[in-house]
Amino acid sequence: MDNFHTVIIGAGPAGLACAAFLARQGLKVIVVERNQTIGPKVCAGGIPYHAQQDLKLPADLIERSFPEQHIHTPWQKAVIKSPIPIISTVNRKKLGQWLAGKALDSGALIITSARVCHITDSYICLKDRKIAYKYLVGADGSSSTVRRHLKIPTSQTGTGINYQLPVIRQNMEWHLGPKSFHSGYAWVFPHKQTTSIGIYADHSDLRPAVMQERLQAWAKLHHLDLSACKPKAALINFDYRGWRFGNTFLAGDASGLASGFTGEGIYPAIISGQTIAKTIANPDHDPRHLNRLIKQQQRHNRMQKFFTGNKVVCQIAMEVLVLAVRCGLLKFDLLEMH
């Protein structure tokens, strides 16, 4: 049996950020990833500018940056402007490869194409080996094996459907419309050589099959040809129920830290991974940054719950919210995880 100080399941942003910090402390760390390639994920790739700066992402990871946000509703069109970028887009594969490089350079071991088939309180089982651990970190996404091992249910989820079209668009757009998207939204997120077109909605509010139909109808109305590529869908977990459970931790989507209101999850994933690593290295670490994010995530979930259900109430509330942002009564970053 192999022995490691910390075993991290999942080589997404949360797991890799956790691994890099722990390995820099001289601890023996292994990251177990079920996929062959690190990085790719169904995601629009949007990350708030403040998060980009806080995480010190290198400039070559940034695809495009947008000081304007275009918000469309049935009753109004709003353009939110800022002297600095509000949101940037990143390529998830490049982001993953960069984070993996930092973890490897720090001394962490990463194995891919490795599916976990069993978890106990002291070791995990792969197909051909057992790995013992002192600490276990579940950073394995919305369908987390570690979360199931802890017997933590997941009932609050959303779905994102994404088309990465080989076209270049200029504006970052958010399209709200309760009649079509209920409490969710459609997006247009431009990258360097492609544009992410997609839809996000609470699973209890709009089923994936219906989402796909509504997205197709919306795209046709806006003269967007989605036939150039196949759609990809992803589950988004925003059912947060804690991040520390004895010697086992949950990070990112595995812990349900994504926003139920917008589906945003990159920044919370990295911050949670870093916080878990700091807590493992120093049990007295103050997780104030993560605690602030958790409070924001809970506010987002309350907003999502309010908008879910009655279409008339949702329509009016969304229009009021956009009008308030448009008039400067509310800041756009109210809709961001920070």
Token pair belonging to 321:
């919210």
Residue-wise pLDDT for 55-66, tens only, equals 889 999 999 999
The whole-number pLDDT of residue 39 equals: 81
State the first-to-last Cα distance of the chain, in angstroms, to the nearest integer: 41
For residue 313, name the pLDDT band (cuts at 50, 70, 90): confident
Q: What is the mean pLDDT of the chain?
A: 93
Q: What percent of the chain has pLDDT over 70?
A: 100
The whole-number pLDDT of residue 73 equals: 93
Token pair belonging to 299:
């506010």
Lowest mean pLDDT among 100-109, 121-130, 173-182, 306-315: 306-315
Residue 53 CB coordination number (10 Å): 12
Please name the residues in contact with 320: beta carbons below 8 A apart, sequence gap of 6 or more: none
Q: What percent of the chain has pLDDT over 90?
A: 78
- Global model pTM greater than 0.85: yes
Residue of 15, 77, 266 lying closest to 160 (CA atoms): 266
Mean pLDDT for 318-336 is: 83
The whole-number pLDDT of residue 309 equals: 72
Secondary structure of the chain in HEC code, one letter for each residue: CEEEEEEEECCCHHHHHHHHHHHHCCCCEEEECCCCCCCCCCCCCEEEHHHHHHCCCCHHHEEEEECEEEEECCCCEEEEECCCCCEEEECHHHHHHHHHHHHHHHCCEEECCCCCCEECCCEEECCCCEEEEEEEEECCCCCCHHHHHCCCCCCCEEEEEEEEECCCCCCCEEEECHHHHCCCEEEEEECCCCEEEEEEEECCCCCHHHHHHHHHHHHHHCCCCHHHCCCEEEEEECCCCCCEECCEEECHHHHCCCCCCCCCCHHHHHHHHHHHHHHHHCCCCCCHHHHHHHHHHHHHHHHHHHHCCCHHHHHHHHHHHHHHHHCCCCCHHHHCCC
Lowest mean pLDDT among 171-185, 223-237, 238-252, 317-331: 317-331
Token pair belonging to 285:
């670490």
The whole-number pLDDT of residue 36 equals: 93
Domain interval for residue 194: 2-335
Token pair belonging to 58:
């290198």
| Total domains, the chain | 1
Strands 130-138, 2-9: pairing kind: parallel
Kindly report the CATH number assigned to the domain that includes residue 171.
3.50.50.60
The whole-number pLDDT of residue 328 equals: 83
Model confidence at 92: pLDDT above 80: yes
Task: Give helix 92-106 / helix 13-24 axis angle, nearest 10°.
Answer: 20
Model confidence at 5: pLDDT above 90: yes
